């Protein structure tokens, strides 16, 4: 048996060698014989009826394969939660960039001109572009009332609290759309023949989402649809649902042409047409006691879902459940709503609603602190959830979490108090104003409520003919370290060296449905199933008397070889079973929302230059409790990468919209942080251990997206004494506010004496 634990060590990334040598195969690196290239003709207007399609002159259209909605063999939709989004628009279009026609040709270079040469005449219909326009219902663009979904979370008796309150604090907070901006654009290859059905290879997160969508689209049975994940160059949620659309398009072209078809988006198409983070608006009204304790409050959380329902209901759910932050609300009413507009559908992006509602919560805590006359640290300390208390969904906090201790530690390592005092004293000098900001937050791991029970994930572990072990999951690697950590878990469970474990390529013909690779669920939920399936292999070998209770790696190898030689294929399966004590009421939205929460306190140090109005980060502390850290190097990489995206969300990344269309769909004008923009991001883990996940791990991937934006905007307020309640916060926004508010000398004392 292996005496050195593998879990907890930073073993080499499984596919790392291929990545640093350029050998990894991404979808655009794959070429099939006789392959055609596909392109998409999209709507140019936000809403209307297509009257006429004209194929322009100067192009030999006979050379092209052309697909329209009439070529869909099954149901013309991208089947996900609902079936409202067409695969190809049939007459009616509901957003700019909506796919209408598909073209394929052997020469990829002729496609851009061909796409431009297709012109469409429309009967335009009035369109709506903001949450407010959607709420006014001047135009009904979806369903009966423009509303995809609402939730109501109620706890306690809110009506009585307003009379007892010493303070009633109100605020409205908004967040903008954000592009995932994986560096590898979306892409798919599809092949079709009658005997084998459809096969697609692509850049994707969720093989079985695509499998389901292609079955509905093609009317083919499960065994005639095969989805294979290629190496995937970043995803961040952006390859959760939209790849089903691209796979469907490539499949339709392959079915019609009888040839393999590759569709690779260029950057502008990817940015304009695929999903982004939902824009949001959150309103808080909070009753607070004289001592600064939250007595109760109302939270209205609204997101813009774009033109089709896609995943908005689930994003909304997570945002609503996280809206109260890591605080104890004796009484609360959370109303959440996802509304329709005529923009391309917004979708999954790391954090999935929580970064939006937590931005509001953490900005609002600073507002409450000012109203009550307490420091940002103290107001949080007085309201933190304690073990035994309940969350807004009345989930009892069972973990021995001590948020006050996390806060103390974050303040200590960031040197918060000394710096804040120093900045307050010095900010009247010069034109650079400095400030410190805090964000405290939580992030639930795994699907919400009954979600994991419905998913009913299955994983397999295989003992191979050569005596090695292979993990069979549809959970995908796209940079986070799925391959590495799941291999570690299997190796640890079997007491084998890490090198003896490999991962099967996610291929729906080879691997079971272990659920989508989303929701920070892979290590915690799928990892635990891998652990139990691996133990099944060991138990079988022991009970077959091929292996003793304790063994060396070569004894395991020999036993495994022996078993396969005698019995053939040797696989052990494990299916998710919900813990017996978990209760969730889908109607009342009450109960155990998540099997575990990760907890964090982040501290930002900013300098605002009043010459350029630019905000630069001088230091960033990210301190979190994520259960046991299974791979310190990967975990730290996840946190730093998430913080960097959070900094982009806050200070750089603004989607400029015009009539529902993104105007800045290029890397030259949609600005993400470079290596020269980011501060040192200092990561600290506090490990409590969690009995639930694999070896005590909780989810980690999304957590770091939640904290940076509020911490930074809180720090900007500390520096300038001006409250900004929106992100992205750009230099021009700061300039405008300073120009319209008091002269600069009036704010020069900074936030220190507020």
Q: DSSP states of 148-172 as a string?
A: EEEEEEEES--TTHHHH-SEEEEEE
Q: Is 520 in the site for other proteins (CB under 8 A)?
A: no
- Which tokens go with 304? 């813009």
Per the DSSP assignment, residues forming a β-bridge with 205 are none
Among positive and negative, which fits the CA dihedral 462, 464, 467, 473?
A: negative
Q: Is 29 in the site for other proteins (CB under 8 A)?
A: yes
Part of the chain binding other proteins (CB under 8 A), chosen from 423-431, 473-481, 554-562, 715-723: 473-481
Q: Is 84 in the site for other proteins (CB under 8 A)?
A: no
Letters for 260-279 (x = contact with other proteins by CB under 8 A, - = none) are ------xx------------
Q: Is 112 in the site for other proteins (CB under 8 A)?
A: yes
Distance CA 184, CA 235 (A): 8
Part of the chain binding other proteins (CB under 8 A), chosen from 212-220, 542-550, 568-576, 635-643: 635-643
Q: Which of 82, 258, 330, 637 binds other proteins (CB under 8 A)?
A: 637
Distance CA 565, CA 465 (A): 7
Cβ distance to other proteins smaller for residue 35 or 334:
35
Q: DSSP states of 679-716 as a string?
A: --EEEEE-----SSSGGGB---SSHHHHSHHHHHHHHH
Near other proteins in 154-183, by CB under 8 A: 180-183
Part of the chain binding other proteins (CB under 8 A), chosen from 296-304, 533-541, 593-601, 665-673: 665-673
**Closest approach of Cβ 17 to other proteins, in Å?**
7
Q: Is 432 in the site for other proteins (CB under 8 A)?
A: no
Q: Is 668 in the site for other proteins (CB under 8 A)?
A: yes
Q: Which of 20, 152, 548, 656 binds other proteins (CB under 8 A)?
A: 20
Q: Which of 233, 324, 516, 710 binds other proteins (CB under 8 A)?
A: 233
**Closest approach of Cβ 503 to other proteins, in Å?**
15
Distance CA 613, CA 667 (A): 22
What letter would DSSP give residue 113?
H
- Which tokens go with 131? 């949450």
**Closest approach of Cβ 176 to other proteins, in Å?**
18
Part of the chain binding other proteins (CB under 8 A), chosen from 11-19, 92-100, 284-292, 436-444: 11-19
Query: Helix, strand, or coil here: 521?
Result: coil
Distance CA 144, CA 137 (A): 10
Q: Which of 578, 582, 640, 723 binds other proteins (CB under 8 A)?
A: 640
Query: Do residues 29 and 262 touch, judged by C-beta distance below 8 A?
Result: no
- Which tokens go with 280? 């949001």
Instruction: Tell me whether residue 223 is exposed, middle or buried, using C-beta atoms within 10 angstroms of its C-beta: 0 to 12, 13 to 18, 19 or more.
Output: exposed
Residues in the chain, overall count: 754
Q: Which of 234, 536, 591, 689 binds other proteins (CB under 8 A)?
A: 234
Q: Is 408 in the site for other proteins (CB under 8 A)?
A: no
**Closest approach of Cβ 381 to other proteins, in Å?**
29
Q: Which of 53, 374, 432, 667 binds other proteins (CB under 8 A)?
A: 667
Residue 347: alpha-carbon gap to chain centroid: 9
Q: Which of 641, 696, 721, 750 binds other proteins (CB under 8 A)?
A: 641
Alpha-carbon distance values, 61 to 35, 104, 107, 111, 257 (Å): 18, 10, 13, 11, 14
Q: Which of 377, 643, 694, 727 binds other proteins (CB under 8 A)?
A: 643
Tracing tokens 């003919």 back to the chain, one arrives at 465
Cβ distance to other proteins smaller for residue 10 or 370:
10
Query: Do residues 718 and 750 touch, judged by C-beta distance below 8 A?
Result: yes
Per the DSSP assignment, residues forming a β-bridge with 332 are 155, 297
Q: Is 113 in the site for other proteins (CB under 8 A)?
A: yes
Part of the chain binding other proteins (CB under 8 A), chosen from 59-67, 317-325, 458-466, 636-644: 636-644
Q: What is the dihedral of CA 472, 478, 483, 488, to 10 degrees?
A: -130
**Closest approach of Cβ 714 to other proteins, in Å?**
20
Per the DSSP assignment, residues forming a β-bridge with 304 are 339
Part of the chain binding other proteins (CB under 8 A), chosen from 81-89, 390-398, 501-509, 634-642: 634-642
Near other proteins in 92-111, by CB under 8 A: 108-110
Q: Is 479 in the site for other proteins (CB under 8 A)?
A: yes
Q: Which of 59, 535, 553, 672 binds other proteins (CB under 8 A)?
A: 672
Q: Is 562 in the site for other proteins (CB under 8 A)?
A: no
Q: Which of 28, 71, 378, 733 binds other proteins (CB under 8 A)?
A: 28
Distance CA 449, CA 578 (A): 10
Distance CA 364, CA 659 (A): 31
Tracing tokens 């652990």 back to the chain, one arrives at 531
Cβ distance to other proteins smaller for residue 681 or 709:
681
Part of the chain binding other proteins (CB under 8 A), chosen from 19-27, 144-152, 406-414, 453-461: 19-27
Alpha-carbon distance values, 231 to 30, 184, 203, 283, 504 (Å): 11, 10, 7, 41, 12
Binding footprint of other proteins on the chain (CB under 8 A): 10, 12-13, 15-26, 28-29, 108-110, 112-113, 180-185, 231-236, 266-267, 478-481, 633-634, 636-637, 640-645, 666-668, 672-676, 678, 680-681
């Amino acid at each position: 048996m292996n005496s050195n634990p593998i879990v907890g060590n930073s073993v080499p990334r499984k596919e790392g060698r291929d990545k640093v040598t350029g050998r990894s195969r991404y979808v655009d690196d794959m070429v099939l014989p006789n392959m055609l290239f596909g392109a998409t003709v999209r709507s140019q207007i936000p809403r209307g009826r297509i009257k006429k399609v004209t194929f322009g002159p100067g192009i030999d259209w006979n050379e092209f394969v052309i697909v329209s909605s009439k070529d869909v063999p099954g149901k013309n939709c991208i089947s996900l939660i609902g079936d409202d989004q067409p695969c190809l628009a049939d007459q009616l279009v509901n957003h700019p960039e909506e796919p209408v026609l598909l073209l394929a040709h052997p020469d990829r270079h002729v496609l851009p001109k061909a796409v431009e040469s297709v012109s469409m005449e429309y009967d335009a219909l009035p369109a709506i572009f903001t949450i407010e326009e959607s709420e006014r219902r001047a135009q009904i663009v979806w369903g009966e009332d423009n509303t995809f979904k609402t939730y109501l979370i109620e706890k306690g008796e809110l009506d009585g609290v307003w009379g007892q309150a010493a303070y009633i604090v109100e605020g409205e907070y908004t967040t903008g759309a954000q592009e995932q901006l994986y560096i590898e654009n979306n892409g798919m290859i599809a092949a079709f023949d009658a005997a084998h059905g459809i096969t697609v290879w692509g850049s994707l997160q969720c093989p079985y989402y695509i499998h389901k969508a292609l079955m509905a689209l093609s009317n083919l049975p499960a065994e005639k649809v095969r989805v294979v994940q290629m190496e995937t160059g970043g995803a961040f949620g952006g390859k959760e649902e939209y790849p089903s659309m691209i796979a469907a398009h490539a499949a339709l072209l392959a079915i019609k042409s009888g040839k393999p078809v590759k569709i690779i988006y260029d950057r502008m198409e990817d940015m304009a047409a695929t999903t982004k983070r939902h824009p949001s608006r959150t309103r808080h009204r909070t009753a607070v006691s004289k001592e600064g304790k939250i007595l109760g409050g109302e939270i209205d959380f609204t997101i813009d879902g774009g033109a089709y329902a896609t995943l908005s209901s689930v994003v909304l759910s997570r945002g609503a459940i996280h809206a109260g932050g890591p605080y104890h609300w004796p009484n609360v009413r959370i109303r959440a709503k996802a509304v329709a507009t005529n923009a391309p559908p917004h979708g999954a992006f790391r954090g999935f609603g929580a970064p939006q509602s937590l931005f509001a919560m953490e900005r609002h805590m600073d507002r409450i602190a000012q109203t009550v006359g307490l420091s940002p640290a103290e107001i949080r300390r007085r309201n933190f959830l304690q073990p035994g208390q309940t969350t807004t969904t009345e989930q009892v906090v069972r973990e021995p979490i001590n948020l006050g201790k996390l806060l103390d530690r974050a303040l200590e390592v960031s040197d918060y108090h000394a710096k804040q005092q120093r900045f307050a004293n010095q900010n009247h000098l010069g034109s650079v104003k400095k400030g410190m900001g805090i964000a405290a937050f939580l992030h639930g791991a795994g699907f919400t409520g009954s979600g994991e029970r419905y998913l009913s994930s299955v994983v397999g572990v295989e003992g191979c003919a050569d005596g090695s072990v292979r993990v069979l999951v549809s959970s995908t690697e796209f940079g986070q370290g799925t391959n590495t950590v799941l291999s570690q878990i299997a190796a640890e469970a079997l007491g084998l060296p890490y090198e003896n474990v490999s991962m099967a390529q996610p291929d729906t013909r080879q691997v079971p449905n272990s659920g989508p690779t989303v929701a920070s669920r892979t290590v915690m939920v799928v990892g635990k199933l891998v652990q139990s399936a691996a133990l099944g292999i060991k138990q079988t070998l022991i009970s077959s008397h091929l292996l003793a209770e304790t063994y060396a790696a070569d004894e395991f190898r020999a036993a495994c070889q022996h078993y396969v030689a005698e019995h053939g294929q040797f696989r052990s399966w494990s299916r998710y079973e919900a813990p017996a004590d978990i209760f969730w009421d889908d109607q009342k939205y009450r109960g155990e929302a998540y099997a575990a929460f990760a907890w964090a306190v982040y501290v930002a140090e900013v300098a605002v230059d009043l010459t350029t109005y630019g905000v630069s980060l001088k230091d960033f502390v990210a301190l979190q409790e994520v259960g046991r850290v299974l791979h310190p190097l990967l975990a730290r990489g996840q946190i730093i990468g998430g913080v960097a995206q959070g900094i982009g969300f806050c200070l750089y990344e603004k989607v400029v919209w015009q009539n529902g269309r993104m105007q800045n769909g290029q890397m030259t004008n949609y600005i993400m942080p470079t290596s020269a923009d980011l501060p040192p991001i200092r990561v600290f883990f506090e490990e409590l251990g969690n009995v639930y996940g694999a070896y005590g791990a909780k989810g980690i991937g999304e957590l770091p997206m939640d904290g940076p934006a509020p911490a930074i905007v809180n720090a900007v307020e500390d520096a300038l004494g001006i409250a900004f309640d929106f992100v992205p916060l750009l230099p021009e926004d700061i300039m405008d506010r300073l120009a319209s508010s008091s002269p600069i000398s009036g704010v020069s004392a900074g936030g220190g004496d507020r």
